[in-house]
Structure 1
Amino acid sequence: MSTTKTIQLLLLSGVAAAALSAPASALEAQAFVDRVAEVYRTMGYELSFGEATLEGDTITVDGLTVEVVGVDEEPMEIDTTLTFRGVSETEDGAYWAEELTVPDVDTVFTTEEDEAEGRVTLSDIRVEDLYFPAGDAASAIAQVQSFGAASTGPLSVFRNGEEVVRVESMEARSTFTPEQGTDELVDVDSTLAINGIWADLSTVSEEDPESGAVIEQLGLTEINGSITQHMTWSMADGHMVMDEFVFDFDDLGALDITFDITGFTPEVLDQIYAMQAQMGGEEMTEEQAQAQMMSGMALMQGVNIVSVAIRYDDASLADSLLDFFAEDAGTDRATFVDGLKQQLPLMIEGLGIPALNDLIVPPVSAFLDDPQSLEIAARPASPTSLLVLMAAAANPAGLIPALGLTVTANQ
C-alpha cells in the first residue's frame, strides 16, 4: 500500500471516530441536563435548558428558562452560560458535579416609577458539590443533598450611576452525616452568611420626600450590617432547630428568630411535594380542596412545636424613634412615653382577651422606659402539635397557656 493511501486511510478513520463519538458526547450532556430538570421538577420547578455540550468532564449549557409549577407568571429566562465542571455519572444513574459557575452579572434596567437608570452587578457565582439522584422522582432526603455550598462575591446596585446597595459576599453551606449522596442520611448542619451589607438611603427622598425626611432625622441615611443563620435537622425524628437567624445592623439593632420543632421528617416533606404536584396549578373543586385541607391537617398532626422566639436587641433605633415621634408630637420624650403606656391597656382591651394585659403591658412598658431588648416566645410545657394549637386558637385566652407564651423585656 502506498504512503499516500495509508495517510488517507488514517484520516478517514479519524473522521469516522469523531463522527461516532460526537453523538455519544451530545447524548451524555443531554442526559445530564435531563436529570437535573427531572430532580427540580419534583421540587416544583420546570427547567428548560439550552444546548448542552460536553468536553472532557465539563458540560456547558447555553441558557436556561425557569418556571414555577402552579404559579401563573411569565417564565424567567436566564440568558447566560452555565458551566458544570467535574461531572460524573454513578452506576445507578445519578450524576455529580464538582462545581457550577455562572459568568459575572452586569445588567442595566429602567425603573417604572421614576424612569431612573438602574444597574446590578454580581460576581463569582458558584455552587459546589452538586448531586442529582437517579430515579423518576427525587425523594426529599435526596433533594436535601442537592448541593453542598453556594456562594457569590460582591453584589452592587446602582441608581443613576451612584451605588446605593452593596453586599460583600453571600454563602450557604451544608454538612451531611454521613457523606452527601446517601439514602441513609442521618442529619444536616446548615449555615448562611450574608456579609458586608451596606445601603445608602439618602436617595430615598428623590422618590419619597416625606420618607426621606424621616430617614434623615433618624440618622438612617447609611446602614451597615450582616445576616447569619444556623440550622440543624435530624432525619429520624424530624427534629429541626434554627438556633440563630440574626439580622444585625450597626448602631440600629439586631433581630433574632429561632425555633425548635420535631416531627418534620423527610416523609412529611415528600407528602408536601406530592400535594403540590396534585394541585398542578389548576383550579380545584370543592371536594378536592376539602381533601387537600384534610391531608394538610393530617400532616400538621405529626409536627410539634418545642419553642419559637423572636428577640430584638436595640442599639439606638428604638431610642431614635421615640425621640423623633415625641418631637413630631410637640412634646418631650418622657411625656410621650407616658402617653404610650397609658394607651397600651386600652389597645389590648379592644382585642377582647384580658389575659393579654398582664402578659404584654409590664414588659412593653419597661422597654419603652429603657429600650434594651424585647422578646416574644412560645415554649409549651411539652412539644405541642400544630393541629392542637389551631384548635386552641378558637379560644384565644386558652391559647396563651397552651403555647407557654411569654413577653420579656431588657433580659
Structure 2
Amino acid sequence: MRAPYLKTGLAAGFTLLASTHLSFALDADDFAKKFAAAYASQGANITYDGVSADGDTITLKDVDIEMPGEDDGLDLGDLTFNGVKEDGSGGYTAESFTNDEIKFSEDDNELTISDLKVENLRIPGEPGAESVDDIMWYDSATTGPIALTIEGQDVFKAARSTTTTKKSSDGSRMDFDARIDGLEIDLSDVKDAQAQQAINGMGYQTLSGDVVLNGHWAPETGEIALTEYALTLDDVGRLDMQFSISGYTLEFIKGLQQMQEQMAKQDDDGKSQQAMGLAMMGMMQQLTFNSLSVRFDDASLTNKVLDMVASRQGMSRDQMVQGLQGMMPLLLAQLQNPEFQKQVTEAVSLYLSDPKSIEITAQPEAPLPFASVAGSAMGAPQTLPQVLNVSVTANQ
C-alpha cells in the first residue's frame, strides 16, 4: 500500500522542486532589454543578435553600440554577465561582465581593447534621468592592454586601465577616478617631414607615461568637478587640468539627450543647423562656470624646443629667450588690457628663463552663468581676464 503513496509523494516533490527552480530562473530577455534601455537613456542605442542564460550567467551575442548622428556603430562582440540577480525593484545586479577582446576598425586604423571587466554592475528597472537610481552604475572597470594601430604601425599602447566609482549612501555625490598605466606613444613614423625632423631633434621618437583622472559629481546641484586630469610623459613634463562647473543636473542631461536625438534627425542645411545652434546656446545657459586651472610642469620639453628653434635661427638659447621676452609686450598689446598684459609678460619671461612650471587659473569671485562669459567674450573680450579673475604664474 505504501508504494502508490511513495510514488505520489516523489512526483509531488519533484514537481515542486522543478516549479521552484523555474520560478527563480532568470529572464534573460528581460535582462537584455533593460540593459539596452539603460544605455538608451544615456544617449546610446544597444543592439544584439541573441541572448542566452546558464544559471546566473547571461550572454549577449554580437553587441553593437550606435551613437546618434553616427553612421557606423561599435561592435563589442559577445558580453558575458556573471552572478546576475534580480534586485527586487524590477532591475538587476551583476557581479561582473567581461569581454576578452574588443576591436574597432575604420579604414587602416584599428583600436584593440583586451580583457575588459566591469564589476558590481547595477541595471535599473526603469532607466531614465529622474533620479540617480535610474542610472546604470558600476563600481569598477578594468582592461588589459590597449593598442591603436594606424596602417599596421602601433602608435599608441597602454598596459592597463582602471576606473572606479563610488556613490554616497544618499545618492548626493558620486566620486570617480581613472588611470591609464604603461602608456607608450610611437612618433617614429610621423609622415610630415618637418614634424619628424623636430621629433628626432628633441629625441622624442617614443614617449612613455601615464594618465590620471579624479573628480566628483553632485546630481542635485549639477556640480561636476575634475580635481585632477593629468598626462605625465617621461622626460617631457606633466600637463594637469582642473575645472568645476554647476548645472549639470539629471534634468540637464535628459534635455541634452533629447537634443542629440533631434540633431540626428535634422536635415543638414543652414536653417536646421542654426536652429539647433540656438537651442544648444539655450542649454548652455543652464550651466555656470566655477573655476578652471591648467598647469604644466616641465621635465625637459621647453629647453629642448628653445634649443631646436634657436639652432634653426642661428642663435643661442639665451638670445632666443631674450628675443621672445622682448616680443611679449607687443604681442599682448592686442588684448588692450595693460594689467593682464603685465602679469602674463612677467610670468612667461620668468618661465622661459628657468622652465619649471607655468599655470593659468580662472577663479571668479562667484560662479558665472555661461551666457555671461560668452557675452563678455563676444562683446568686450578685453574684460574677460577680469570677469573670470584670470591669473598667470610661473615656477610656483
| TM tier relative to shorter chain | 0.7 to 0.9
Match of residue 223 from structure 1: 207
Deviation at 1:350, TM superposition (A): 4.0
Match among 120, 125, 128 for residue 119 of structure 2:
128
Deviation at 1:196, TM superposition (A): 1.3
Distance in 1 of aligned mates of 2:239 and 2:31: 42
Give the match's secondary structure for 1:337: helix
Match among 266, 271, 292 for residue 282 of structure 1:
266
Letter in 2 for 1:199: I
More off after superposition, 318-327 vs 293-302: 293-302
Match of residue 233 from structure 2: 249
Give the TM-score normalised by the residue count of structure 1. Answer: 0.82
Letter in 2 for 1:95: Y
Match among 80, 84, 95 for residue 81 of structure 2:
84
Which runs of structure 2 are paired with 1:320-331 in the superposition (5 Å)? 320-331=304-315
Distance in 1 of aligned mates of 2:266 and 2:286: 28
Distance in 1 of aligned mates of 2:316 and 2:135: 55
Deviation at 1:198, TM superposition (A): 2.0
Distance in 1 of aligned mates of 2:75 and 2:113: 17
Deviation at 1:276, TM superposition (A): 2.7
Give CA-to-partner distance per residue, 1:217-259, whole Å, 9 cap, x none. Answer: 1011222111101102223323332111111111110001001
Using a 3 Å threshold, how does the CA distance of structure 1 residues 227 and 140 change in structure 2: closer, same or farther? Answer: farther
Give the match's secondary structure for 1:388: helix
Deviation at 1:358, TM superposition (A): 2.0
Deviation at 1:129, TM superposition (A): 1.6
Match of residue 249 from structure 2: 265
Could you tell me the percent identity over the aligned residues?
29
- 2:212, 2:230 within 8 Å by CA — same for their partners in 1? yes
Give the TM-score normalised by the residue count of structure 2. Answer: 0.85
Match of residue 177 from structure 2: 191
Deviation at 1:297, TM superposition (A): 5.0
Give the match's secondary structure for 2:220: coil
Match of residue 3 from structure 2: none
Give CA-to-partner distance per residue, 1:194-231, whole Å, 9 cap, x none. Answer: 11112333343xx3444222212101122211110110
Deviation at 1:399, TM superposition (A): 1.8
Letter in 2 for 1:277: E
Listed as ranges, the gaps of 5+ residues in structure 1 are: 1-5, 113-117, 179-183
Distance in 2 of aligned mates of 1:36 and 1:88: 13
Using a 3 Å threshold, how does the CA distance of structure 1 residues 355 and 296 change in structure 2: closer, same or farther? Answer: farther
Distance in 1 of aligned mates of 2:342 and 2:34: 57
Match among 101, 118, 127 for residue 104 of structure 1:
101
Using a 3 Å threshold, how does the CA distance of structure 1 residues 275 and 122 change in structure 2: closer, same or farther? Answer: closer
Match of residue 91 from structure 2: 94
Letter in 2 for 1:384: L
Which runs of structure 2 are paired with 1:36-185 in the superposition (5 Å)? 36-69=35-68, 71-78=69-76, 80-105=77-102, 112=108, 122-135=113-126, 137-139=128-130, 141-142=132-133, 145-156=136-147, 165-178=156-169, 184-185=170-171
Match of residue 30 from structure 1: 29
Match among 186, 196, 203 for residue 200 of structure 1:
186
Distance in 1 of aligned mates of 2:85 and 2:48: 19
Letter in 2 for 1:347: L
Distance in 1 of aligned mates of 2:130 and 2:58: 25
More off after superposition, 272-281 vs 386-395: 272-281
Give the match's secondary structure for 1:305: strand
Distance in 2 of aligned mates of 1:185 and 1:120: 35
Letter in 2 for 1:196: G
Letter in 1 for 2:212: T
Distance in 2 of aligned mates of 1:93 and 1:108: 33
Match of residue 386 from structure 1: 370
- 2:100, 2:116 within 8 Å by CA — same for their partners in 1? yes
- 2:38, 2:135 within 8 Å by CA — same for their partners in 1? no
Give CA-to-partner distance per residue, 1:128-186, whole Å, 9 cap, x none. Answer: 122221226354624655222111012345679876543121011101111xxxxx511
Using a 3 Å threshold, how does the CA distance of structure 1 residues 144 and 371 change in structure 2: closer, same or farther? Answer: farther
Aligned length: 384
